[in-house]
Structure 1
Amino acid sequence: MGISLQKGQKISLNKETGGVLNKVIMGLGWDAKKSGGGLLKGMFGGGGGGSIDLDASCVLFDEQKKIVDTVWFRQLKSKDGSVVHTGDNRTGAGDGDDEQIIVDLSKVPANVKSLVFTVNSFTNQTFDQVENAYCRLVDSATNKEIARYTLSAQGSHTAQVMAKVYRHEGEWKMHAIGENGHGRTIDSLLPQITANL
């Protein structure tokens, strides 16, 4: 298990891994909250559970805070090939990461200063209906978890700016942002993301 990050905390990825970090995986995991029935059961069907479609996205920014590229379920790979989304998970069912975004840090273009990771509820369900939600950063070479940030799941928000991986004085760092937001897709979060850069 990696470091359990608190909201606002920043860490050096190189120090945590003890060496050069080339490729990382940002994993997002969640479960649909088990409901006892009633109205929720009727809305989501099935017995005592449901499915929630959370979407992980990554926005690449340059020094001037301008968007270089966006990786999300409609564009699973950055134009330069350094960031790849492994695909859309529409339910959150099963153990482990439900969605993953793989970042080859050695291939991220030199003009990219930061990569911001977000999550949106595409089905517009609020995080009140989500449990066990987290994002984590994994060293792809060793499959070891570097850091984990538990998403404050309870709330009427439908999105969150989760974390930022950014260059600082020649090394990569991670900042757990954890800011709640609203919107079904990454577009509605862009003003909020830019404010956090």
Structure 2
Amino acid sequence: MAISLQKGQKISLSKESGGALSKVVMGLGWDAKKSGGGMLKGLFGGGNSESIDLDASCVMFDDNNKAVDTVYFGHLKSKDGSIVHTGDNRTGAGDGDDEQIIVELDKVPAHVKSLVFTVNSFTGQTFNAVENAYCRIVDSASKTEIARYTLSSQGSHTAQIMAKLYRHNGEWKMHAIGENGTGRTIENLLPQIVVHL
């Protein structure tokens, strides 16, 4: 049974999964908020929701909190090959994860201390236009969901610093950060991330 994380909560991934993890998937899902207007508006095409292009990214940081590499829609694989983004979803339509980032924990270089997962609204809409947004960690081997963090925070922000995976005493832990940010791309968000490391 997956643990539902609250903002600021930290967990041990190995304890929650019942053993050492070698490969996890960070899944991100969201829906565009449906505009109101009732049945008549829907019949005449006015009730459709606008598509929102949220982009998941993963930034790798070293012991000095310096960004080592960034994996996002424009750079789908880390230089060392330990992290792979499965591709861009530009609408959030459909069920399940809209974007996924696969992390081979045992291949993440030793000098990388933490992995920070973020989401940006590339189309520029604020999170007031987003609903049902979440991030989750899945054990790739068993396909078991280990932890889920629901992004309940709607507002005028265009980005969210969602969660961090980090090494502590030889094991990987997860910290649900849940801080609002601004910027359409990961480059805009980098200075805001460093504050939360």
TM-score of the pair, normalised by structure 2: 0.94
Unaligned runs of 5+ in 1: none
Give yes or no for the alignment of 1:174 onto 2:179: no
Task: Give the secondary structure class of the aligned counterpart of 2:14.
Answer: helix
**What amino acid is aligned across from residue 128 of structure 1 in structure 2?**
N
Alpha-carbon distance in 1 for matches of 2:47, 2:14: 46
Given that residues 69 and 78 in structure 1 are in contact (C-alpha distance below 8 angstroms), is that contact kept between their aligned partners in structure 2?
A: yes
Confirm or deny: 8 A CA contact 1:132 1:153 kept in the other structure. Answer: no
Partner in structure 2 of residue 10 of structure 1: 10
1:159 aligned residue: 159
Q: How many residues are treated as equivalent by the alignment?
A: 192
**Unaligned stretches of 5+ residues in structure 2:** none
- The one-letter amino acid of 1:28's match is L
Q: 2: CA distance between counterparts of 1:177 and 1:46?
A: 37
Which residue of structure 2 aligns with residue 147 of structure 1?
147
Partner of 1:195: 195
Structure 1 residues 1-197: aligned runs within 5 Å? 1-36=1-36, 47-197=47-197
User: What is the RMSD computed on CA atoms of the aligned residues?
Assistant: 1.5
Alpha-carbon distance in 2 for matches of 1:132, 1:153: 10
| TM-score, with length taken from structure 1 | 0.94
Local SS of the residue matching 2:187: helix
Distance 1:169 1:121 in 2: 35
SS of equivalent to 1:174: strand
Q: Percent identity?
A: 80
Rounded to whole Å, the distance in 2 between the matches of 1:70 and 1:108 is 13
1:86-135 per-residue CA deviation (whole Å, 9 max, x = no partner) reads 00000000000000000000100010000000000000000000000000
CA shift at 1:142, angstroms? 0.4
- The alpha carbon displacement at 1:46 in A equals 6.0
> Which ranges of 4 or more aligned residues in structure 1 deviate by more than 6 Å?
none
